[in-house]
Amino acid sequence: MFIEPHLHGEKKGWIEVICGSMFSGKTEELIRRLKRVKIANLKVEIFKPAIDVRYDEINIVSHDTNAILSTPVDSSQRILLLAQDVDVVGIDEAQFFDPEIANVCETLALRGVRVIVAGLDMDYQGNPFGQMPNLLAKADYISKLHAICVRCGNIANISYRKVPATGQVLLGEKDIYEPRCRTCAQEKD
């Protein structure tokens, strides 16, 4: 006979995804939520892909320079190994993780862990980015954030690439990307 876990005092986990374009405040929101978790004295582990060394090799750092200590990992499976006996797991830049990241988040949620994930939902061409569609499909809660278009001032949902380059992944900041709305993203410089 199956008994609902929450009826017997067991933890019930879930997945929260914070998504949007670059400069929309995703990492800022992730850090805000994780700091509140720490205030509540919950056990938390925070991860980021080892490839992301733009601001810091270890810390997760927002464009506004808010930071929180994290563990860089080269594989989403490492998260399962390192996130033992925790209440909350935070993951930044989820679009850079391997195809198992959605299953890792699901496994953690089934263990009763609250999983908070941030990442770009679209690449510079406006196409789904990496494993974010799979994470969005598995999410219990989704927060879509928007930047402000640098051209017209409307909401921006595209991380417009200002330099000629091929390939979906090109790590960069304001020197390479700027937020644009879908209309302004179609305009050529």
Active site positions, annotated: 93
| 154 Cβ contact partners less than 8 Å away, ≥ 6 residues apart | 148, 181, 183, 184
Cα–Cα dist 123/112, whole Å: 31
Instruction: Quote the longest CA-to-CA distance of the chain.
Output: 64
What's the token pair of residue 40?
Answer: 């509540």
What's the token pair of residue 157?
Answer: 């949902």
What's the token pair of residue 29?
Answer: 């929101």
**Angle 12-17-99 (CA atoms, 0-180°, nearest 5)?**
95
What's the token pair of residue 159?
Answer: 């991380």
